[in-house]
Amino acid sequence: MKAEQLTGACATHGEGPVWDAAAGRLRWVDMFSGDVLTLDPAGAVERLHVGSVVAAVRPRVSGGLVVAVERGFTMLDPGGRPVRHDTAFNDAACRMNDGGTDRQGRFFCGSMAYNMADPRAALYRYDPDGAISTVLTGVTVSNGIAWSLDGAHMYYIDSATQQVEVFDYDTALGIPARRQPLARVATETGMPDGLALDDEGGVWVALWRGAAVHRYGPDGRLDVVIDLPVELVTACAFGGPGLDELYITTSRQGLTAAGRAAGALFTARPGVRGLPCTAFAG
């Protein structure tokens, strides 16, 4: 299966796509430009500048957005104006990287060291009242995260492990436990980055330096490959009114000879539906 290019190379480092069902639009980030991007129905890309780094974005139940910025979280009102900021950590060697919301509307985002090597990062939970908790430590490159429809399992990638992992998840407390490997990605295939879940129990994984998205079945076996014409594939999310379109973000960060497609948004129709995104309850 091959992905189709949907936009021009609109991002230097595109990341974190999410389908905003209330708005009927796809949103993602251009991380180091500090911008939230929105695809309008006509196919144009709108930009909202938030700060120096924007790592992840989710819609808010009350309207507006919540964004993970370099070292914390910022809530935006429906006009894109910041209404609250909470700092998660002060380690200048680290930044936020990727995130998502659990089925109860709590926003999680994990960090990574700028050198991509030190296991000094963590996974943070941002509650609707603004409280921040550390739920995992010893992380190197925190990446894709998503929850099963019933919320009982959390799927997660620390890219340095080359694995997709699954946790039992305490929905009342918002705490993952009993970490288990689901699938391993061979180093020569690429580095696992963002992920998305479908309604058949499949896990779709973007491969950094792998020019592809892989689907792993509930048993952890690779069963679908979507090829892309660019090397740096960062993340994926199901969207569209039927949640049957897979949107894929890409990057041209650090590439000296990137083609015109690097940094574009791509799409594919893999024949399954994705799980809906839960809006942040704050």
Active site members: 193
Q: CA 133 to CA 216: how far, in whole Å?
A: 30
CA dihedral 213, 5, 246, 1 (to 10 degrees): -50
CA dihedral 21, 39, 68, 97 (to 10 degrees): 110
Tokens of 116: 């991509």
